[in-house]
């Protein structure tokens, strides 16, 4: 039984658990009340704010507690856009930000604002030069994550912050994934975090707003956390969150080095153990504990279930036959395969043996899913005499990974130089058919409407 979904949420850190229990009896009163119980609650809140501010690298009066990381992002972005309305209406975001950022950007667009999405390379990293160019005269705010939550790639935040400072544009850094590992470098203006990503309780977010940044909290007036969080603070949870952040930071360097080595092992071994697999994300400039890979001819959700049954809890950015998984905008922006996607994020304390057992279990799990989809034992290409030079596969109405599977099944029915036309209306095919070509060495010749053209240029890799 191994939980490898740390990037989604962590169990309470023992220090957080202790702090929660201790403050449940002391921190239940309204900290805005002048009576004894209120003052005691206020003291706990103030102390937690100091602890958290120290870890973030800001002044306590620059730090607001919110009811979640998502709420911190919503409030941070909307607060700056409102306050800097006269400076401009353009919001710059990377294409691989958390959905909370992109949804806020959509809302901004719906209300007449402009959004400029900056693309990423195949590792998921924003190109610093392109970032710089996106910051124009009419730019009210830019948002860049410190590290990507799906593939672990670390962004050039310090450079981006310098560029923003030069352009006079405030930068909001979504530090949800990196905050447990260390403070964010560079002259950022706003920063957000989420406690359950570092072993604090859910329901606690952080929003740091540097002095001098124009900021007008959105929504109805509320005095709590200077408008950043409607309703009164869940102080025991805030105390536990701050204590956990301090505790994980004390262990961060040693634990990062240890987990980095385990992730390196996964990155190296998975392609060896599982055929037709691509490890994605930057191999070096990455979070220490997170690795993502995609497996051809695999339904991501089925693979999650197979791994779950085998005792491993992981995550997936695939949008496959089942509707419970949403397609990953991150993988799409990177232009990498989305089918059979698995994100492994190791919690602090993960044992080496757990990782080794996972690596032993993975090939069987993938094979099982592929077999179920009729891919496991791929037949040698039938000797059909004169192969047709062009074959059409109608995969309309079929969802990921079926169009790619259909394509793989017929590619060897055409001679080298021949063409397979795939008709596919599943959105994921736009990403997965080109990615499949990239991985297998066949030539992707483009898509028109729902028709994808793939030219067989080489024998199947490994065949």
For the purposes of burial, counting CB atoms within 10 Å of the CB of 421, is it exposed (0-12), middle (13-18) or buried (19 or more)? middle
Residue 320 is among the residues annotated as catalytic for this protein: yes
Cβ closer to a copy of itself: 21 or 351? 21
Note whether 81 and 214 are within 8 A (CB): no
E strand or H helix at 77? helix 69-83
Instruction: Point out the catalytic residue in the list 139, 143, 295, 320.
Output: 320
Q: Are 197 and 102 in contact (CB under 8 A)?
A: no
User: Hey, is 66 helix, strand or coil?
Assistant: strand
Contacts (Cβ under 8 Å, ≥6 apart) of 376: 367, 368, 370
Tell which residue, 62, 282, 250, 54, has the closest CA to residue 150: 282
Query: Nearest-CA neighbor of 67 among 281, 232, 279?
Result: 232
Burial class (CB in 10 A: 0-12, 13-18, 19+), 117: middle
Inter-residue contact 344 to 4 (CB < 8 Å):
yes
Q: How far is the CB of 35 from a copy of itself (least distance, A)?
A: 4
Burial of 322 (0-12, 13-18, 19+ CB in 10 A): middle
Nearest distance, CB of residue 453 and a copy of itself, angstroms? 36
Dihedrals φ, ψ of 73, to 5°?
Answer: -65, -50
Cβ contacts of 379 within 8 Å, gap of 6 or more: none
In the complex, the smallest distance separating the C-beta of residue 12 from a copy of itself, rounded to whole angstroms, is 6
Rounded CA-CA distance 393/423 in Å is 6
Nearer to a copy of itself, 69 or 170 (CB): 69
| 198 or 436: CB nearest a copy of itself | 198
**Tokens at 210, concatenated:** 């540097």
Which of 242, 234, 319 is closest to 63 using CA atoms? 242
The closest alpha carbon to 200, from 365, 20, 74, belongs to 20
Provide the phi-psi class of 57: left if phi over 0, else alpha when psi is between -120 and 50, else beta: left
Task: Report DSSP letters for 316-377, one per residue.
Answer: -----SSTTSPPPHHHHHHT---TTEEEEEPPTT--HHHHHHHHHHHHHHHHHHHHHTT-SS
Q: Can you give the binding site for a copy of itself, defined by CB under 8 A?
A: 1, 3, 5, 8-12, 17, 20-21, 24-25, 28-30, 33-38, 67-71, 74, 78, 100, 103-104, 106-107, 194, 196, 201-205, 219-222, 224, 229-237, 301, 304-305, 308, 313-315, 324-325
Q: Which residues are catalytic?
A: 320
């Amino acid at each position: 039984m191994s939980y490898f979904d740390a990037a989604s949420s962590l169990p309470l850190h023992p220090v957080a658990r202790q702090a929660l229990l201790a403050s449940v009896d002391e921190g239940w009163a309204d900290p805005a009340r002048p009576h004894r119980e209120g003052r005691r609650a206020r003291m706990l809140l103030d102390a937690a704010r100091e602890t958290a501010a120290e870890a973030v690298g800001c002044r306590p009066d620059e730090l607001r507690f919110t009811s979640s990381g998502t709420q911190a992002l919503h409030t941070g972005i909307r607060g700056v856009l409102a306050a800097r309305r006269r400076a401009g209406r353009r919001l710059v975001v990377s294409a691989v930000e958390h959905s909370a950022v992109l949804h806020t950007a959509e809302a901004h667009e719906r209300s007449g604002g402009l959004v400029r999405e900056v693309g990423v390379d195949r590792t998921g990293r924003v190109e610093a030069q392109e970032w710089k160019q996106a910051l124009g005269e009419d730019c009210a705010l830019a948002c860049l994550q410190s590290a990507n939550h799906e593939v672990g790639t670390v962004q050039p935040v310090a450079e981006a912050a310098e560029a923003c400072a030069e352009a006079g544009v405030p930068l909001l850094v979504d530090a949800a994934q990196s905050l447990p590992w260390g403070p964010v470098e560079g002259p950022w203006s706003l920063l957000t975090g989420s406690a359950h990503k570092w072993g604090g309780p859910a329901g606690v977010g952080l929003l740091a707003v540097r002095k001098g940044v124009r900021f007008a909290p959105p929504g109805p007036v509320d005095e709590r956390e200077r408008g950043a969080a409607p309703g009164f603070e869940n102080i025991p949870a805030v105390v536990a969150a701050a204590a956990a952040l301090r505790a994980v930071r004390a262990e961060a360097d040693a634990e990062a080095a240890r987990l980095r080595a385990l992730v390196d092992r996964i990155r190296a071994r998975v392609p060896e153990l599982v055929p037709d697999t691509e490890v994605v994300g930057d191999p070096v400039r990455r979070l220490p504990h997170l690795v993502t890979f995609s497996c051809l001819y695999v339904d991501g959700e089925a693979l999650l279930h197979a791994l779950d049954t085998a005792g491993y809890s992981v995550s997936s950015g695939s949008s496959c036959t089942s509707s419970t998984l949403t397609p990953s905008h991150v993988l799409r922006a990177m232009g990498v395969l989305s089918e059979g996607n698995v994100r492994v994020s190791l919690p602090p304390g993960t044992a080496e043996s757990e990782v080794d057992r996972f690596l032993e279990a993975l090939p069987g799990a993938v094979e099982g899913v592929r077999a179920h989809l009729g891919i496991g034992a791929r037949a040698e290409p039938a000797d059909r005499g004169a192969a047709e030079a062009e074959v059409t596969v109608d995969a309309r109405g079929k969802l990921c990974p079926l169009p790619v599977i259909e394509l793989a099944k017929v590619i060897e029915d055409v001679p080298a130089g021949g063409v397979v036309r795939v008709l596919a209306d599943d959105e994921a095919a736009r990403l997965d058919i080109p990615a499949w070509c990239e991985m297998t060495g066949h030539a992707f010749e483009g898509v028109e409407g729902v028709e994808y053209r793939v030219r067989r240029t080489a024998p199947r890799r490994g065949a």
